[in-house]
Amino acid sequence: MEKILNYLESSRESFLTQLYELLRIPSVSALPEHSSDIRKAVEWVAARLSRLGFEAKVYETSGHPLVFAQWTKNPDKPTVLFYGHVDVQPVDPVEEWQSPPFEPTVRDGNLYCRGASDDKGQLYTHIAAVEAWLATSGSLPVNVKFLIESEEEIGSPSLPAWIREHRELLTADVVVISDTAQFAPDYPSLCTGLRGIASFEIEVRTAEADLHSGSFGGAVPNAIQVLTRIISQLHDASGRVNIPGFYDDVLEPSDEEKDSWKLLPFNEHEFVKSAGVKATWGEPDRTIFERIWTRPTLEIVGIAGGYQGKGHKGIVPARALAKGSARLVPKQDPSHVLRVIGNRLRELAPSYADVEFRCGHGTPAVSIPTNSAWVRAARSALEKGFGKSPVFIREGGSISIVTTFVRDLQLPCLLLGFGLPDDRIHSPNEKFSLRDFERGMRTSAILLNEITSHRTGT
């Protein structure tokens, strides 16, 4: 291992030179005029991996191409599948960049360039790690596959279908993704859960058509008032969801996670400021981490009814509509949650109104058990790579590709974010700390070794 880490250190400049080549390709997936750049970036990765000894192939999809590459010369060893992406966000407003967006520039120990952190730089840590292994020992301690797409920034529209059609290529033991961030500088982080979501609509009708508020106002029900009364009863005054069964099955985080969160630097004032709100809100007996990571929530995301134009209209509105969603946590079944919401809405519906509940899309949460061999390997690698004990964090939203790996391919995922929360990944002056780039490469190289030993040694 020593030799490998030395190789990484002595090859730092060469790795950066390589990465700069990739960063200079303006592979903006949202802009059609960059289609050929996208292809160039994909081909660059394929060529790079081929040179290292991987079988690499560019695959066409219904959208932009992707590259799948594999090195599987250790049939009795576990297989690691690295996922990443080479497409980037647009660079507007370009005038706010302090150096040209596609010209890698180092300032104050940071590498500035679009894609530096999201995701070319992070992705490159894994390419460098396999190079170090292969250059030093002529082999890898595990089997390695790379699935690198180029449509992540536009929602990965082609990837799920490609994955369904190429399941056999993707057999693996664990997926490793570095496309997120550390909780804070020097807090190497392992993400152990993503919330799911279940969406729905509520429609209230109180009359066949809007009524004249002079002729009928005061004597007939008002659809907006019915809807607002229903919605206002979905939470109690403290912020807790007031729906029987809503919190059924909710899995509390492991003690290990809770202990880990106590170590996280968190300043409520900073959180409030970053959210642009006046104060926090929500379940009073829960910490902010619990509220956004481990507790299901119910949000009304849109509402519409009656007259919304300029001025005023004297009507009693006949119809009002709200859209909502529940963020789900591990063990919750989206259809159960939608069912209890529907039951509660029907219970709250007054006899003088028709209340329709329509279920939308449901995706369960993703849970990454903290006690697996993979997590133990990752913690050990992060600790050695960063020289700091890693923390467990979670993600309050969903990452659709992770859901695909976990649910469709039944693969455990390790989310090792080497970036930082202030990397400005979708804004001007995106950066990636060179120190984290180095620590990421070390972590990745060590992880391959840890996975072998954990797999075989425990």
Enumerate residues 190-219 that contact its own copies by CB under 8 A: 195, 197, 199, 206-209, 211-219
- Which of 22/337 has CB closer to its own copies? 337
- What residues from 342 to 361 belong to the interface with its own copies (CB under 8 A)? 351-354, 360-361
Binding span for its own copies by CB under 8 A among 71-79, 122-130, 148-156, 220-228: 220-228
Q: What's the token pair of residue 64?
A: 């932009």
- Which of 168/301 has CB closer to its own copies? 301
Strands 174-177, 79-85: pairing kind: parallel
- Which of 12/424 has CB closer to its own copies? 424
- Which of 227/446 has CB closer to its own copies? 227
Burial class (CB in 10 A: 0-12, 13-18, 19+), 457: exposed
- Which of 3/426 has CB closer to its own copies? 426
- What residues from 230 to 259 belong to the interface with its own copies (CB under 8 A)? 231-233, 235
Binding span for its own copies by CB under 8 A among 123-131, 177-185, 224-232, 242-250: 224-232
Residue 293 Cβ vs its own copies, minimum distance, rounded to whole Å: 9
Phi/psi of residue 128, each to 5°? -65, -40
- Which of 84/305 has CB closer to its own copies? 305
Phi/psi of residue 52, each to 5°? -80, -10
Cα–Cα dist 367/45, whole Å: 31
DSSP H or E run through 168: none
Binding span for its own copies by CB under 8 A among 36-44, 134-142, 167-175, 221-229: 221-229
- What residues from 51 to 110 belong to the interface with its own copies (CB under 8 A)? none
Closest Cα to residue 242, out of 347, 336, 322? 347
Burial class (CB in 10 A: 0-12, 13-18, 19+), 303: middle
Are 202 and 227 in contact by the 8 Å Cβ rule? The answer is yes
Place of tokens 């066949």: 208
- What residues from 155 to 194 belong to the interface with its own copies (CB under 8 A)? none
Helix axes 2-10, 120-137, angle to 10 degrees: 120
3-state secondary structure of 327: strand
3-state secondary structure of 84: strand
- Which of 100/306 has CB closer to its own copies? 306
How wide is the angle at C-alpha 195 spanned by C-alphas 193 and 200, nearest 5°? 165
Place of tokens 């599987």: 72
Site for its own copies contains 153 (CB under 8 A): no
Closest Cα to residue 127, out of 176, 77, 171? 176
- Binding its own copies (rule: CB under 8 A), the pick from 121, 193, 221, 417 is 221
Residue 107 Cβ vs its own copies, minimum distance, rounded to whole Å: 28
Binding span for its own copies by CB under 8 A among 10-18, 60-68, 118-126, 222-230: 222-230
The DSSP secondary-structure symbol of 404 reads I
- What residues from 282 to 301 belong to the interface with its own copies (CB under 8 A)? 282-283, 288, 291-292, 295-297, 299-301
- Which of 186/283 has CB closer to its own copies? 283
How many residues sit in the footprint of its own copies (CB under 8 A)? 79
The DSSP secondary-structure symbol of 178 reads -
Place of tokens 């993400």: 191
Residue 392 Cβ vs its own copies, minimum distance, rounded to whole Å: 17
Residue 226 Cβ vs its own copies, minimum distance, rounded to whole Å: 9
Residue 108 Cβ vs its own copies, minimum distance, rounded to whole Å: 27
Residue 246 Cβ vs its own copies, minimum distance, rounded to whole Å: 12
Closest Cα to residue 147, out of 162, 131, 125, 128? 162
Q: What's the token pair of residue 209?
A: 């058509």
Are 65 and 47 in contact by the 8 Å Cβ rule? The answer is no
Residue 291 Cβ vs its own copies, minimum distance, rounded to whole Å: 4
- Which of 228/372 has CB closer to its own copies? 228
Neighbouring residues of 352: CB distance < 8 A, sequence distance ≥ 6: 206, 221, 226
- Which of 201/256 has CB closer to its own copies? 201
Cα–Cα dist 46/206, whole Å: 61
Cα–Cα dist 343/329, whole Å: 20
Are 84 and 128 in contact by the 8 Å Cβ rule? The answer is no
- What residues from 381 to 440 belong to the interface with its own copies (CB under 8 A)? 395-398
- Which of 138/279 has CB closer to its own copies? 279
- Binding its own copies (rule: CB under 8 A), the pick from 222, 260, 449, 452 is 222
Residue 214 Cβ vs its own copies, minimum distance, rounded to whole Å: 2
- What residues from 256 to 275 belong to the interface with its own copies (CB under 8 A)? 271, 275
Are 209 and 318 in contact by the 8 Å Cβ rule? The answer is yes
- What residues from 298 to 337 belong to the interface with its own copies (CB under 8 A)? 299-309, 311-318, 320-323, 325, 327
